[in-house]
Amino acid sequence: MKTNAVKLEWQSLAERALQGECLSLEEGLSVLEADNDEVLLLMQAAFKVRKHFYGKKVKLNMIINAKSGLCPEDCGYCSQSIVSTAPVQKYTLLDKDTLLAGAREALARKAGTYCIVAAGKGPTDKELNQVVDAVREIRQTMPLKICACLGILNDDQAKRLAEAGVHRYNHNLNTSKANYPAITTTHTYDQRVETVEKVKTHGMSPCSGVIIGMGETNQEIIEMAYALRELDSDSIPINFLNAIPGTPLEHAGRTASMKALKVLALFRFICPSKEIRVAGGREVNLRTLQPLSLFAANSLFVGDYLTTAGQEISADYQMIEDLGFEIELNAL
């Protein structure tokens, strides 16, 4: 009887999500604090929502670290920040030919979206010109969607990226507004929100997500999901902290695999129609439970991240095939 009652509870959340209703804080906590014995039932309910909007298709994205290790920001999770002593490569923005080669590699990996990421508070005029030049040629020669992640933008920069053909712009909220000062002090949570709103006004699809495992409470995880629902972020990368030696958060523990699944289910219920991407840190936090993540998420990165390694691309292909899912080619 207890199992049936639990099953009905999670299915009820799925039905309400499909009707556009938002979970209450108490319901969100019931998801994150559910007994591990209920996780399969919870994922089944999340899959009902995911399947309604995305079927069994999986979107693939590929990142190129277009500028590395020269960031003046003090983000505690990042190996490229000014406060990090992690031994990462340091280089200025990659030239056009290298960015084009990355785009060709994204196509070879069956990625629909190519993500050009440059660490920093925001792009200089020279950097923006380089990205714009590369984006224009990619758009003319390859059937790829392009996402840019270059930091805080002003109106003119956002307009130029949109005019060049950038489909999507990423600027993660990363954590809750209350927790933000404990993670970063060189810019504010509100500045991140403003950038996401700005790219929307210039016609780019907003991409904004979070990093789980940076000292936030369960209530704050729910508040992050509410904030992204309010922002109407089309794509929501859910990162799980991969604590890198040499960063202020190097001693943070990993998120338990079952907790990570509950987080993904929560975001699917609160942002039901949005692309939910299981992103950085999935390999070290979900570990052998990675396949289950795709019952809530419908997107993932293939290959390496910015300064950390992903799993073998063939393993991702095999995971998708074994689930009976299929890669959605050229998908935004």
207 is in an annotated binding site: yes
Scanning 76-154, the segments in alpha helix (DSSP H) are 96-108, 125-141
User: What 3 state SS string does 293-328 have?
Assistant: HCCCCCEEECCCCCCCCCCCHHHHHHHHHHCCCEEE
Question: What is the C-alpha separation between 208 and 210, in angstroms, rounded?
Answer: 7
Active-site annotation, residues: 71, 75, 78, 115, 147, 207, 277
SS3 116: strand
Q: Are 95 and 131 in contact (CB under 8 A)?
A: no
271 is in an annotated binding site: no
Eight-class DSSP state of 174: B
75 is in an annotated binding site: yes
53: amino acid identity, one letter = F
DSSP 55-108: TTEEEEEEEEEEEBS------TT-TTSTT-------B-PPPHHHHHHHHHHHHH
- The dihedral over CA atoms of 36, 223, 149, 250, expressed in degrees to the nearest 10, equals -60
71 is in an annotated binding site: yes
In terms of Cα–Cα distance, which of 50, 33, 35, 41 is closest to 11?
A: 41
CA end-to-end span of the chain, whole Å? 43
Q: Return the bridge partners of 116, or none.
A: 64, 148
CA distances 279 to 62, 123, 299, 311, Å, are 11, 24, 8, 12
Binding residue positions for [4Fe-4S] cluster: 71, 75, 78
Binding residue positions: 71, 75, 78, 115, 147, 207, 277
